[in-house]
C-alpha cells in the first residue's frame, strides 16, 4: 500500500473497524433483553402448564374417588338406584366440555404470551 498523499486520508474498511470495536452497549442491552424475555416466557409456559396438569390431576382424582364410591354403593345390598349415582352421563359430558374449553383457553393464553401482537 502506498503512503497517502497530502490531503488524503487512509481508506478504512468499516466492517473491519466495527469488528474491532465489538458490540455497542445498546446492542448488548438489546441482546440481554431478548434473552431475558425468552427465558421469562419459557418459565411462564412451564408454570401455566404445571398448573394445568395439577388441576386436571385433581379433577381426575376426584372423579376416580366418586366412581369408587358409586361402585361401592352399587355393590351394596340393596343396590343404589342409577338415578342416585355420582357419576352420570351429565357429569361426563360436563367434564369433557370443560376440558375442551380449558385446553383452548390455555393454548390461547400461552400463544398470545409467546407471540404478542405488534402495534401497527
Domain ranges of the chain: 41-114
Confidence check: pLDDT of 85 > 60: yes
The string of DSSP codes covering the chain is -PPPPTT-PPP--HHHHHHHH---HHHHHHHHHHHHHHHHHHHHHHHHHHHHHHHHHHHHHHHHHHHHHHHHHHHSSSPPPGGG-SS-HHHHHHHHHHHHHHHHHHHHHHHHHHSPPPP-
Which pTM does this prediction carry?
A: 0.58
Position 6 scores a pLDDT of 61
Q: pLDDT-derived band of residue 3, with 50, 70 and 90 as boundaries?
A: low
Q: pLDDT-derived band of residue 35, with 50, 70 and 90 as boundaries?
A: very high
Amino acid at each position: 500500500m502506498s503512503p497517502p498523499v497530502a490531503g488524503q486520508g487512509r481508506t478504512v474498511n468499516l466492517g473491519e473497524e466495527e469488528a474491532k470495536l465489538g458490540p455497542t452497549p445498546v446492542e448488548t442491552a438489546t441482546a440481554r433483553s431478548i434473552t431475558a424475555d425468552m427465558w421469562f416466557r419459557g418459565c411462564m409456559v412451564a408454570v401455566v402448564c404445571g398448573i394445568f396438569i395439577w388441576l386436571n390431576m385433581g379433577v381426575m382424582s376426584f372423579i376416580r374417588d366418586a366412581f369408587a364410591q358409586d361402585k361401592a354403593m352399587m355393590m351394596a345390598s340393596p343396590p343404589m338406584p342409577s338415578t342416585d349415582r355420582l357419576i352420570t352421563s351429565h357429569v361426563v359430558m360436563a367434564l369433557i366440555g370443560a376440558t375442551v374449553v380449558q385446553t383452548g383457553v390455555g393454548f390461547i393464553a400461552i400463544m398470545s404470551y409467546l407471540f404478542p401482537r405488534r402495534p401497527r
